[in-house]
Structure 1
Amino acid sequence: MSRLKRWARELLVLAILLAGVLWVMDSSRAPQAPLAFADQPLHTLDGQEVTLNTLSQDRPLLVYFWASWCGICRFTTPTVAEMAQQGGNVIGIALRSGDDEKVQRYLQAKHYQMPLVNDPQGRLSANWQVSVTPTLVIIDKGQVVSSTTGFTSGWGMKLRLWWAGYR
């Protein structure tokens, strides 16, 4: 029994260390929202003009910075698109993935449907200081409440959205 306790204690210490390292990495790579970001008009591929403030008033919003050329995004984008199709409050921002037509073809080929803002030159992403794809930002009532970078599971995304609405 003492051997089992020792293993459990070592696993706990390892989990705490891993969580600390991940927190430091997320903190150092966290995007910085530009001034008045919430009311900046954004234009989606389907022609709508939206603001992050409006989209995040009733429930937390997942803002998903991604790219068609990003290897990790190949694993996270299907989950985000599925959340959007199931009625989740999601908007994607395609970073340097080509012109509107190219991004639209990419989405159609992959069968992804989600509200999407194209950022072909990366200006919007640069204003947010997004340095890693994918980057996920949770906004509630026009305020950034959480962000993470790299791979995140569907449950991780849903948990972050739930926590933002709960707080």
Structure 2
Amino acid sequence: MTEKKLKRTWLSRLKTVTMYGLFILAVGWGADFWRAQSIVSGKAPELVAMSIQGKQVDLIAMSQDKPVLVYFWATWCSVCSTVSPSVDFVSGNMQVVTVALNSGDDKRIQQYMSSKDYDFTVLNDATGLIGRAWGISLTSTLMVIDKGQITSVTTGFTSPFGMWARMLLS
């Protein structure tokens, strides 16, 4: 194969991969937009509660100094099983508050957390009241709260880089 033909083949493949990548990004953003329609926007609802770790959490107050990543998840959620390790990873460098939706009592969630070796802050929404107040209809859902305002919402799979970028851009 000549060098010129090899270069054309390489450029053709690069163009194809780029087009597929852009298509996947567009579909992902469109799906996020569609799924986020029921989720609250603008001012974040008040959320003051005790975590399963025994720590008082006041989300609006926390968000005044630095943005807070809020992660709505469930122990039974298959997508969450791939997102939660990333949330745990970024929780060492960012403010993270998570809400376990309809996942049982505190003891059950603590056992789940221990079995996975997760260390992020968890609010237990055993009855689904918090999830309904925030308009959550899909797990996993991640939001960034900055100075009491919701600045970013995403649903489904998100990478640590995606979480970091959303926090940085808020």
TM-score normalized by structure 2?
0.85
Distance 2:131 2:164 in 1: 23
Matches within 5 A, 1:4-15: 4-15=10-21
2:116 paired residue number: 110
Letter of the 2:83 partner, please give it: T
Alpha-carbon distance change, 9 to 34 in structure 1, aligned in 2, over 3 angstroms: closer
2:166 paired residue number: 160
Matches within 5 A, 1:15-164: 15-30=21-36, 32-33=39-40, 37-84=44-91, 86-164=92-170
Q: Which moved more, 1:143-152 or 1:48-57?
A: 48-57
Distance 1:34 1:16 in 2: 27
The answer (yes or no) to whether the contact 1:38–1:143 under 8 Å persists in 2 is: no
Question: Which has the greater radius of gyration?
Answer: 2
Letter of the 1:92 partner, please give it: T
Instruction: Report the alpha carbon displacement of residue 22 of structure 1 after superposing the two structures with TM.
Output: 0.7
Deviations 1:113-146 (A, max 9, x none): 1211001121211222212211111111111111
Distance 1:9 1:109 in 2: 44
Work out the number of aligned pairs and report it: 163
Q: Which moved more, 1:91-100 or 1:15-24?
A: 15-24
Q: For the aligned residues, what is the CA RMSD?
A: 2.0
SS in 2 for 1:39: coil
Identity of aligned residues (%): 35
Distance 2:18 2:89 in 1: 33
Letter of the 2:62 partner, please give it: L
SS in 1 for 2:168: helix
Distance 1:125 1:145 in 2: 18
TM-score normalized by structure 1?
0.86
The answer (yes or no) to whether the contact 1:34–1:127 under 8 Å persists in 2 is: no
Distance 2:90 2:17 in 1: 33
Is there any run of 5+ residues in structure 1 with no aligned partner, and where?
none
